[in-house]
Structures are given as structure tokens and as C-alpha cells.
Structure 1
């Protein structure tokens, strides 16, 4: 069956949270974390506008982080990023232009860009020209055969592929590709065009958006959505982590720089950073070492089991 739309997925997650709260196995606190620290008694999260920190025995970090790769004001009147697009006034403004002849550029060629394109095709009429700006000039399709999908939902054989084959698999199924469902929808649309270009900066003018590209090329459009990917290491910035903790993350990553390509090599079976105590779970960085289904939630139940397992006391009766 086709992948669920994002609004369907959001409704499912809300149902799960409501069910968990009803059964008193989880509490929900909405807020913005401004600082992450830890002590011998656990993790301490400073929340914006809150006097008392939120504490816990372990910390799970998720979330897309900031958009990477493009400079400029990303959330103005004519520009949005993929992180804020669905709640940004730009989407409502575009819907008012549903039948107008306008050009909307979607910058990126991965899953976030695919979701934006699908939303635009559902929201806009055929007079709206949708340009997908890709460095390769082609939007590739994600491999979705049984042989590929089995690693996304059941990673037990993942470690046996070896790193070169793992990286090839990730390139083929996760990096810079659209799902086959989105591609089928695009194939029937007369107003979608893929354009080759590497956008370095976006500039908003009162009536247009200018895209400055690699090679000193400039292109204009009416509106732009930046969907080039997200920073998996948003939580490891100096304004978020205290210096001592940054050094500890570096130690746990084998002394390498605190960057995604090094940290992801040190994520263990419980999706936590090796040797970090109290535990720090980083499922969005577990794809290379533990399996490609963890960062994109293809094996959400298994992800939950892996994280909760070391924190649950199993009694002889088998109950937790």
C-alpha cells in the first residue's frame, strides 16, 4: 500500500500519545529545549521560559534540526523551509493562488522535497508550475523491492552486508530519492519539472525569489521551499551542549570531531552512544551501524524496544 500522508502519520502519533497518557505510561510536556546538561543523577534539560529543568535517567534525541545547505532568510513571505512548511503562512498564501500562473521552486531531491511536492500537487492547480531543483537534474526513485524493504523493517542481517554495501544501500534507498508512490503521482502531473542546479543562497524580494546557484547562475521564481535535508547534529552545538559534554561526546565517538559521519559509527544495539553515561539514545544516527529503518521510522516498534529495553526491569513473571 502507498506510504501514508504526513497528516495521517501525525494523527497516528497523536493517537499513540493520547493512549500512552491515558494508560499513565507517558507524560507530554511541550516546550523548547535551550540547554542540555548532565550530572551523576541523570540528564537536565533547560526549557525556554521554565525555571525548573526537566530531568531524566536517559535522554532520547530526535527531530530534524535545522535545514542544511542553503543560506538566506528561509521563512519569509515567499520562502519557507521543509521543517516549517506545513505550519507556515506560505502554504495558505499559495492556496489562495491555486488557479494563478505562478512558479514554485522546491529545492532538494530527498524525502522532505518529495513530501512538499506531493502537498503542492494536492493543493495547487495545473497553472502552478512546480520546479524541483536537484543537483543531478534528475529525481531518482527509491528502491522498494522486497529485498530492499526487508532491511528497513527487519535489520537482523544488516550487519552482515559490510560497510561498502551498507553505504550503497543507503544511497539507493534513503539519500536523495523519492518514493515510487510520489514518482507515480509526479509522472501524471503536467506542471512538474525537474531542473539541474545546486542552490547556494535564496534572496527574497517583494515580488520574487532569487536563487543563487553554483557556477554563478541565478534563477527567479515566485515562491521557494528549501528541502535540502536537515542537520542530524543540531543538538551538539555549543549553544545547546555545555563544553564538557561536547568533549565527552567526542570521547565516545573515538576522539573524532563531533560530526554525524563519526558519531553514527558509535551507536550500539540500544541506539545509544557508546560509553555515554547516563544513556544518550540517538536513533536518527543509527542507520549506518544498526539498520536503515531506525532513522526513518520504518521499524518504529523495534526502535521503541531497543531504546526501552535497558531501562525496563523484567520480573520473573515476564511482566515489566
Structure 2
């Protein structure tokens, strides 16, 4: 993998690209599963002749950092909540790029299978052992190993540094990156925002008695203090579920979960719910009310069935309905104020963990004035979560911007519930990359056609018609 101060398309004499990216890369903030899935699909598509952008990840840490201990989201030992077979290529339906009988679609699927979870285990000599152990869920650390393996094999290029700003420049994105010693610009034809962003809870964390998600996992890695015998966990999503499991089973602490609804619901996991995650065909035809209820019931403020099954083994977990509206010190403990309906009550605990997750609009703080104005104009008003969620198009982008801004984490309502999570990474990469290829239309209403003429022209355009320019780095 290469690092660079500047990225830009190189001119190639005698070639004419018919792409919508002009040889410039697609930039991804964060080198996590979505970036790796895009890199894998991009490398496969370019190998069979499609002129799709190369993927360049902007990462402040390392590939799959959020899946490793010490990065603020896990201790690495937690088990993956999604089946590992739902890997970087899932669902392996390549008809975005041609008819089902077109040989190219079969070749794409076959090449993608070389990046599967099973292929990773076979390459590591672990496949038979995994099968003999009844295919257990991998730990987050094992999943990170898979992502790093695939990133290396696909040639994902990563620029190490913190993205400080994102601005629109002449129909492209220009990102300002800080690597700790210098600031430099990285340019691309499109921008995809991945990852949860910084933990943003409802309570101000003090790093001692009131912790955010990052503070909790830091404490879990360093060792839990003996005084923290009773813990209140705020939140009822998967982030909260893994924290509750670690506290109750891993640390043998008494845990009270404060959830906004009457009880701790489990995620729907029947073939009927799962089908919309793997194949959102018909999703847009549902009423918005039904789509919101589906997401609420299966993905938001619910624990996975695996977490629920684990918690059934302990009596250490209880719950209280309501919302936490504040905390205050109380004789060496924390008094947690909980509002439920018209009632307010106090619950005391040694420790409080705010596990309500990240802010899905965190990226807006990076936008420069031109980008912010363009996004506001595209949305027809103030930049709100509701406006963005309703606007997302089939490429998982906000329509109407000079350069694509892909926001899969906000695409559930408009495009399907699997895009914000790990449920359909292969379909996500198809939807995004098809945006940059003429005559390919990736949506859930018709099978897209990748015309043979387009592929022939794309081959003439030569994958690799752009490069990393390291001259800026040499001049620092």
C-alpha cells in the first residue's frame, strides 16, 4: 500500500475514457469493511475490463482499526453479530454488470469468491478447523484479520492521516489530511463516508464514573476496577449489547440497561426479515411507515439474537424503560435521572456507560463552505438526518451534488436496511461503483445491463490510468 501527499489522475496519451470519473479515484473516509469491499470489487471489475475508479482510503489509524482492541469500539474478543458468510462479496449477485447469462457476470462472481471468508480461512489453513468447530462466529479481531488480508490482496491504497476538511473543487472532492507532521490535499471523483464517526452519546463523559463507548472499551482493555460492581448502560442497540455482554458475562458485574422501550427486544432473524437485507428488491415500494418500523424492529435499539442468547445464561442483567436525562454524583456513586412518560426517577450505580452510538451526521463538520452550500441546495433546506435519509439515491449518494457524496450509513430508509451494516457489502459496492460507469444503472427495479461496447471502450481506457504523486511528500 502506498501513501502520498496528493492524488490526481495522470494523462494517458492516445486513450479516451468514457467513464464518469476521468481516471480519478473514489475516496473513502475510513479503511473498514466498506472501503475494503469497494477495493475488492473495484479490483475485480477492472480485471475483467470495466473502467471503474480505484479506491483510496483515508485512515487515521490502520485497516479495520475499529475491530481491534484499544481503538474505542471493542476489546477484539467480542463475536461478530453478522454471519461471516455475509462477507465482502455477499450476496454475489453480479447482474448489475450484465445479464445473468452473460459470461462476465459469472467471471466477476468467481473472482469475488477468491476474496470470501472461506477463501481467507483456506489461505490461512484454518478452513477445516472452522468447519469442524461448527462454523463459530469469528471474533472482532479475527474479522479484522480477514479485512486486512482482503485489503492487501485487492491492493487497497491507504493514505494515513486524519481528514480535517472536505471541499468541492471543480466537480471533484478535495480532502485536507493531517498526518501529524503536515497537512496535504487528496483529490477524488467521489467521496464515501464510512464508519460510525466519533462516539456521540447523550451524556457528558467524565472518564471516571461516566464513560462513553471508547472510554468503556479502554477500561475493559486496561482492567475493570473492583469498585465498579453496579453499572448502568444507556442504549439498546448492538453497541450497547456487546458492552452489556462483556460486563455481565466477561466481568461478572450487575448491569441495568436503560432502554427507550418496554423491554430489551431481539433482532428479527427470520428468512422474511433477512431477505430485505440481502436483496432490497421491492423495498422502495413499501410505505415509509412500514420501512421505518422494519428498521426499528430489526436493526435499531435491538440486541442480536446471539447477544440475547448469551445474556440468557446470566441473572446479572435487568432493564428499566425510559430515557436518561442527566447524572450527578451521589455519595461515591452516580445518580442517573430516568424519564419515562410523565415520571422521573433516580437509579444509583457505581458506573454509567453511554452506549447510544455515534452521530450519523458527524461528517458534516468536515464540509467546507462550498460543499455545505451545495449539500443544503441539494436537500432543499437545512442539512438534517431526515432530509438526507429520504434523499439517498440508488448509488447510496445524495443526488444533485457536483461530485458524488455516498452515505451508505444513512441509506437504510430509502434504499434498504443492509447498507449501513455488514449485511450486503457486495451489493453496496455494486451500487456505488455503477455510478461511475456509463450505461450501468444499479437499482432494485430492474436488472442492470453492462453493454459489451462499454466494456470494450473501458478496456482501452486502461485500468491504472491514475497514480499517487509523491512529489509533494518529497518537498516537505
TM-score by length of 1: 0.85
Q: Among 342, 364, 368, which residue is 1:236 paired with?
A: 364
Instruction: Give the aligned partner of residue 162 of structure 2.
Output: 32
Report the alpha carbon displacement of residue 8 of structure 1 after superposing the two structures with TM.
3.6
Verify the 8 A CA contact 2:329 2:335 in the aligned structure 1. Answer: yes
Instruction: Give the aligned partner of residue 120 of structure 1.
Output: 247
Instruction: Give the aligned partner of residue 70 of structure 1.
Output: 202
Assess, with a 3 A threshold, how the Cα gap between structure 1 residues 187 and 300 changes in structure 2: closer, same or farther.
Answer: same
Q: Which structure would you say has the larger Rg?
A: 2
Assess, with a 3 A threshold, how the Cα gap between structure 1 residues 225 and 217 changes in structure 2: closer, same or farther.
Answer: same
Q: Tell me the distance in 2 between the aligned counterparts of 1:275 and 1:134.
A: 38
Please give the secondary structure, in 1, of the residue aligned with 2:414. helix
Give ranges in structure 2 of 5+ residues lacking alignment: 1-79, 83-136, 439-453, 464-476
Instruction: Give the aligned partner of residue 104 of structure 1.
Output: 231
Give a deviation string over 1:141-176, Cα, whole Å, max 9, x none: 111110010001111121222322211211211121
Q: Tell me the distance in 1 between the aligned counterparts of 2:184 and 2:199.
A: 30
Q: Tell me the distance in 2 between the aligned counterparts of 1:89 and 1:206.
A: 22
Report the alpha carbon displacement of residue 181 of structure 1 after superposing the two structures with TM.
1.5
Report the alpha carbon displacement of residue 90 of structure 1 after superposing the two structures with TM.
4.8
Cα RMSD between the aligned structures?
2.6
Assess, with a 3 A threshold, how the Cα gap between structure 1 residues 227 and 277 changes in structure 2: closer, same or farther.
Answer: same
TM-score by length of 2: 0.59
Alignment of 1:211 with 2:336, yes or no, is: yes
Assess, with a 3 A threshold, how the Cα gap between structure 1 residues 51 and 101 changes in structure 2: closer, same or farther.
Answer: closer
Report the alpha carbon displacement of residue 318 of structure 1 after superposing the two structures with TM.
8.4
Please give the secondary structure, in 2, of the residue aligned with 1:140. coil
Please give the secondary structure, in 2, of the residue aligned with 1:152. helix
Q: Tell me the distance in 2 between the aligned counterparts of 1:13 and 1:225.
A: 29
Instruction: Give the aligned partner of residue 373 of structure 2.
Output: 247
Q: Tell me the distance in 1 between the aligned counterparts of 2:354 and 2:228.
A: 21
Please give the secondary structure, in 2, of the residue aligned with 1:184. helix
Verify the 8 A CA contact 1:73 1:202 in the aligned structure 2. Answer: no
Assess, with a 3 A threshold, how the Cα gap between structure 1 residues 2 and 113 changes in structure 2: closer, same or farther.
Answer: closer
Q: Tell me the distance in 1 between the aligned counterparts of 2:407 and 2:428.
A: 11
Instruction: Give the aligned partner of residue 201 of structure 1.
Output: 326
Q: Tell me the distance in 1 between the aligned counterparts of 2:159 and 2:287.
A: 40
Give a deviation string over 1:180-214, Cα, whole Å, max 9, x none: 11111111212111123311234568943332333
**How many equivalent residue pairs?**
306
Alignment of 1:51 with 2:183, yes or no, is: yes
Report the alpha carbon displacement of residue 54 of structure 1 after superposing the two structures with TM.
1.9
Verify the 8 A CA contact 2:233 2:257 in the aligned structure 1. Answer: yes
Verify the 8 A CA contact 1:70 1:202 in the aligned structure 2. Answer: no
Instruction: Give the aligned partner of residue 145 of structure 1.
Output: 270
Verify the 8 A CA contact 2:197 2:359 in the aligned structure 1. Answer: yes
Alignment of 1:286 with 2:426, yes or no, is: no
Assess, with a 3 A threshold, how the Cα gap between structure 1 residues 203 and 12 changes in structure 2: closer, same or farther.
Answer: farther
Report the alpha carbon displacement of residue 218 of structure 1 after superposing the two structures with TM.
3.1
Alignment of 1:259 with 2:384, yes or no, is: yes
Assess, with a 3 A threshold, how the Cα gap between structure 1 residues 199 and 223 changes in structure 2: closer, same or farther.
Answer: same
Please give the secondary structure, in 2, of the residue aligned with 1:178. coil
Report the alpha carbon displacement of residue 134 of structure 1 after superposing the two structures with TM.
1.3
Verify the 8 A CA contact 1:79 1:90 in the aligned structure 2. Answer: no
Q: Among 291, 297, 314, which residue is 1:172 paired with?
A: 297
Instruction: Give the aligned partner of residue 90 of structure 2.
Output: none
Q: Which moved more, 1:76-85 or 1:227-236?
A: 76-85
Q: Which has the higher contact order (CA 8 A, sep 6+)?
A: 2
